[in-house]
Amino acid sequence: MTSTPTASLGLAALGLVLGLALASPSAYATEKKSVTEEILEILKASGTISDAKYNELLERAEAEESAREEAAQAAAAPAEIPTDSSAKDDPTGWTVKWSNGTKIERNDGEYKLKFGGRVMLDMAQIWADRNLRQTLATTNRDDNGTGFGVEIRRARIFAQGTLYKRFFFKASYEFGGTRNGGNAVEPKDIYMGMKKVGPLGTVRIGHMKEDFSLEEMTSSKYLVFMERGLPAVFNPVRNWGINAYNTFLDGRLRYALGGYRQTNESGFGFGGSNTTSYHITGRLTGLPYWEDGGKKLIHLGLNYSHQFTSSGGATGLGYGERPEAHLALRYVNTGRLSAVPVDAVDLFTTEFAANWNSLAFQSEWQAALLDRRGADDVLLWGIYGQAGWFITGEHRNYSQKYANFGRTQLNSTFDPRAGTWGAFEIAARVSYLDLNDHDIRGGRLFDVTAGVNWYLWPNVRIMANYIHSILMGRAAGASPGKGDGDLFQMRLQLDF
């Protein structure tokens, strides 16, 4: 049969409409299919196409739509690539997958390995009034600490894993520059351990953080602010030792206890010294209130560390702290307490934290009691309190295993095409540090900090902090003196 010009134009129009419909983005798949069926129905009713042609085109449209849906689902699925031809249910098969880090696991759980790291890029603008500039220039070789600065705050890589389900290890190193020039590579967590060691729970040995202070035990990746509060100056941080921790009462009670040998930044310690050298550190935390998987909780904690010194006493001990900005100078500083040897130091910390859905509160009081030979004991102390609010509805994620805060689970990620922008958190903190007691006059510092966090993805965020810092020195005319400073800093952070 010879086709008429009207029929030819109709078929051409049909081809154009079907081509456009089938080539459009998959986000409108349901609407396109309905429109395609409607067009085919109209052409069939007008006699432009036969019943056979109608059925053929309809089947093709449905097949192509199904193929697009399968491809979209495959693209959205988490990356998981078997490393050999073994099926996933084969216990001896291996799987490589990405979950905020590269993980290699044997399917039976006997062996696990994870690689990752973190990068934090900081910038800061620092202002100071005349009094503060003069004080800092006097104590820091004419450097008054004001101006604009940038730094690689952290660039860290790590590998960790589990062997035979119970034996585990971790090795992490940090790369970064120093204020006075030069680069440094520092070992961070370098340890091995065993799980399920009776009532002891987990036992570790090596170079690691002493289990002390809620904020210190919360990774820098998950802090609300760019830096920890002023009282963190007392935290013993990482040393070489052995510790154990475990949870009881369905995770509502946790203990940690360890013995440590103080080391330098390279994890090295040998022989006697004139600084504190051996520590016994314990931490006890509890959750008197726990609901909705941690969306609502109250956390309480007590910490104690006794730091023994060598027989000569600690004459090199001292405390100094920046105004919660790593690019700033130390506004308060006792210097080396060399006038009177310190025979021992006792550290105390009390912890409080609470979640109420998207609201979070946290506070710690910390103190160092110095037992001095032939002189009055000295008490140095500090306190901070902070509050945060996820305006997009998320909440801080609490870990019962470690009694700290971890990665925030986002309700949406950064995708402007879909109208989502990630998560936003606003926060405020007040900190106070007193390094004055008896003849020790390191100064007193008071900080008020406001912060904004933008979580684009679970492992990428932009942070901004504004700090007003008030230095309250010792006697008038002495150094450190008094003065006010203002600091604005930002960070681009990635962990993987």
Tens digits of per-residue pLDDT, 352-396?
Answer: 999 999 999 999 999 999 999 889 999 999 999 999 999 999 999
Question: If you average pLDDT over every residue of the chain, what do you get?
Answer: 86
* Beta carbons within 8 Å of 171's beta carbon, 6+ residues apart: 158, 159, 160, 187, 189, 190
Average pLDDT estimate for 129-154: 91
Mean pLDDT of 218-231: 98
More confident residue, 98 or 432: 432
Average pLDDT over residues 413-440: 97
Residues 277/310, Cβ–Cβ less than 8 Å = yes
In the predicted model, is pLDDT for residue 150 greater than 70? yes
Check whether 67 has a pLDDT greater than 50: yes
Name the range with the highest mean pLDDT among 243-257, 312-326, 334-348, 464-478.
Answer: 243-257
As a whole number, mean pLDDT of residues 260-285 equals: 84
CA nearest to 384, candidates 430, 351, 449, 352: 430
Q: What percent of the chain has pLDDT over 70?
A: 83
pLDDT band, very low/low/confident/very high, at 477 (cuts 50, 70, 90) = very low
Of the chain, the percentage scoring pLDDT greater than 90 comes to 67
pLDDT-derived band at 451 (thresholds 50, 70, 90) equals very high
What's the pTM value of the predicted model, to 2 decimals?
Answer: 0.80
* Confidence (pLDDT) at 72: 53
What's the Rg (C-alpha) of the chain? Answer: 31
Q: Is the pLDDT of residue 236 over 70?
A: yes
**Residue 86's pLDDT is what?**
47
Asked if the model's pLDDT at residue 6 lies above 50, the reply is no
Quote the pLDDT of residue 275: 60
Residue 59: per-residue pLDDT: 75
Say what the pLDDT of residue 5 is. Answer: 44
Residues 66-89 have a mean pLDDT of 53
Task: In whole angstroms, give the CA distance from residue 402 to residue 195.
Answer: 14
> Using alpha carbons only, what angle is made at residue 444 by residues 441 and 446, rounded to the nearest 5 degrees?
175
User: Which of residues 35 and 293 earns the better pLDDT score?
Assistant: 293
The residue among 462 and 55 whose pLDDT is bigger is 462
